[in-house]
């Protein structure tokens, strides 16, 4: 034991002690660096997970919005088609053959109606056009047929207006989900 003490005494002892302390310090520093790196990796993984959860939540919420708006829109379109079909079917009750015989629909009215429905401009003159009848002459269109076509056109308008309204509702709800924190 004295021999061991004599070996460690003096500058050799300090050198051995310094080398041991240096090894312990280096090992401790390496371990602490590993702990910090592990903590940073865990923090980054948690942030990625949190972001992935947000994306999944947002996508599910957007799908829910789409499903709800689509269901409502389909129900509305069925309702509009049903009402329009019922109105067209009931035209003969409201516009009788007697009404058809008493009311003459002039060619000029038919031209205006057709131009408005197709989006085409009217001819310059309401008179005879390309050998067709003058605007003031009676057309072959009956009042009941005019009522049916008008009801169908309004039904189409209602369907398109509802589609637009439902699309706007879908956009507003999608924006709300997308902009939610």
Give residue 175's pLDDT: 94
Examine the pLDDT at 130 and tell me if it is beyond 70.
Answer: no
Block residue for tokens 């049916």: 148
Examine the pLDDT at 129 and tell me if it is beyond 60.
Answer: no
Instruction: Produce one character per residue of 57-84: b if its CB has 16 or more CB atoms within 10 Å, e if not.
Output: eeeebeeebeeebeeebeebeeebeeeb
Q: What is the pTM of this model?
A: 0.67
Q: Average pLDDT of the chain? A: 85
Give residue 164's pLDDT: 98
DSSP annotation string for 38-69:
HHHHHHHHHHHHHHHHHHHHHHHHHHHHHHHH
Q: How many Å apart are CA 138 and CA 47, to the nearest integer? A: 77
CA angle 143/149/152 to nearest 5° reads 140
Give residue 24's pLDDT: 77
Band of pLDDT at residue 137, cut at 50, 70 and 90: confident
Q: Tell me the sheet residues that pair with 138.
A: 106
Quote the tokens at residue 74: 């389909």
Average pLDDT over residues 96-119: 89
**pLDDT by residue (tens digit) across 74-84?**
999 999 999 99
Average pLDDT over residues 150-154: 95
Band of pLDDT at residue 155, cut at 50, 70 and 90: very high
Report the chain's C-alpha Rg in angstroms: 43
Q: How many Å apart are CA 103 and CA 98, to the nearest integer? A: 9
Quote the tokens at residue 131: 């050998």
Give the start-to-end residue ranges of the domains of the chain.
2-105+141-179
Residue 72 or residue 25, greater confidence? 72
Band of pLDDT at residue 5, cut at 50, 70 and 90: low
């Amino acid at each position: 034991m004295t021999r061991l003490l004599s070996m460690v005494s003096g500058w050799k002892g300090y050198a051995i002690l310094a080398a041991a302390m240096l090894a312990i310090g280096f090992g401790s520093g390496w371990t602490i660096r590993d702990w910090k790196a592990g903590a940073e990796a865990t923090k980054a993984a948690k942030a990625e997970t949190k972001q992935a959860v947000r994306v999944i939540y947002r996508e599910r919420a957007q799908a829910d919005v789409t499903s709800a708006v689509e269901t409502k829109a389909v129900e509305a379109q069925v309702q509009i088609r049903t009402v329009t079909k019922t109105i067209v079917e009931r035209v003969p009750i409201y516009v009788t053959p007697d009404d058809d015989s008493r009311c003459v629909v002039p060619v000029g009215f038919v031209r205006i109606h057709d131009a408005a429905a197709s989006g085409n401009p009217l001819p310059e003159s309401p008179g005879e056009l390309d050998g067709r009848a003058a605007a003031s002459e009676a057309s072959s269109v009956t009042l009941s047929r005019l009522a049916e076509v008008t009801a169908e056109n309004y039904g189409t308008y209602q369907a398109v207006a509802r589609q637009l309204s439902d699309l706007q509702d879908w956009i507003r709800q999608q924006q709300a989900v997308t902009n939610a924190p």
